[in-house]
Structure 1
Amino acid sequence: MTTEANNKPVAPKFEWDFDVPDTPFWQQLEFTVVRNFLTCYGPEEVENLHLDAALAVPDRLQYLLSQLSSDLSAREAAAAPQQLHVADPDVWRRFMLGIETLQKSLGLLVEEAQTIHKMLSTAEGNARVPWLNMLADLDLRRGDFVEAETVSREVLPWMQTHEKLGVDSPQAFGTTRIIIAAAWKQGGSKQDEARQLIQETFALIDGMGDSRFAKYQKEERQLLQELKAKLEAGK
């Protein structure tokens, strides 16, 4: 780990980290919404967007979704006769991720499901895994707890063994929380399984101090505490 001039350790920056612009329009928007939208554009393209900070948050989200959808259609037309996911898979993936994130934030479950299944129909191999994780999260929000648990349990080992991730990565913890919630909401012995997994996950978080993901320890502990409290309250 590198250090600054004052010899304090500098937390590593990972490829999913992102510096949110300190401008009014982006305030009150979730980090993932901002990151997954802005990574679709270059700096000059962002400067040319009409970002009205006077809009209410839902209207900002709808504006961003409309912008992404329109620009994706333009890129698809430019790539014709090739399909965009073949001609430029990175651009395709970024735009579809941005669209899915905004659909989730707006509560557009049907449209979100369509986006996820469209990606799963075009992605191959390991590229499918993040979208399967999104599908598990969507299943959880739709109340399909058995399917959410099944899919997320398939995804988790891949995350835990991936060289860029691991058992104490934010991604693995996020999938674990889906498993916990989905199992808990099934009731009976499944709720006991969820309680056990909560304890095991707290133990993993407690051991993050010397991990490369140590900077996320406080956030991960808080997220799990909040989930536990929510489940115990019957929510």
Structure 2
Amino acid sequence: MKDITIAIDGFSSTGKSTIAKLLAKSLGYVYVDSGAMYRAITFFAMKEGKISTEHFDRDGLISELPNAKVSFKFNDSLGFAEVYLNDINIEKNIRTLEVSNLVSTVAAVPEVRKQLVKIQKEIGKNKAVVMDGRDIGTVVFPDAELKIFMNASAQTRALRRYNEIKDNGEAITFDAILENVQKRDHLDSTRKDSPLLKAEDAIEIDNSDVTIEEQFQNILKLVNSVLKA
């Protein structure tokens, strides 16, 4: 059976990563969370004092980018690859609200996107990959055999994100999460470089009222139809 590239784009907290992981595991494909890569660079910028809620040293970050090595290492016990920054596991560090509040600003920097898109294209050059993000079907893999665009209401997505962060032990309010989701939607959709857009040939799925399992099975049917074509 042929190998294909599966590109999953959509707004934040639409369950892209969860579905992508399930698909990759089911198919024996490589899974890449491109959003985690941008979060890793954001975490790097925070550590280097290049960005905070009060300031953003854009030029300083750009000059330090060569010192930020982002990679993935498969965790057998978890069943998916975790993100590393300069060989240090930062999977939990990048899932905080502080990183969420800053990642869209960092992701809008063309030099950051150029560096990470190059890595993403290299990872997917042999196909057999499931990658999720904001511009996978439009910029990274415009020729992907299957493109999915995932959406859900802001309220639904904020509740998912709230539960995720709360489960990680971080004290946060739902209103703060909702504000973050709405802010990121605006920034992701209006940035000049590779804005969040639905590819013309992408299949849009609204998962506001379906379970992860239902969604997975529906998308798996789409995958199988492409594989058999």
Q: Same fold (TM over 0.5)?
A: no
* Larger fraction in strand: 2
Instruction: Give the TM-score, by structure 1 length.
Output: 0.29
Bigger radius of gyration among the two: 1
Instruction: Give the TM-score, by structure 2 length.
Output: 0.30
* Larger fraction in helix: 1
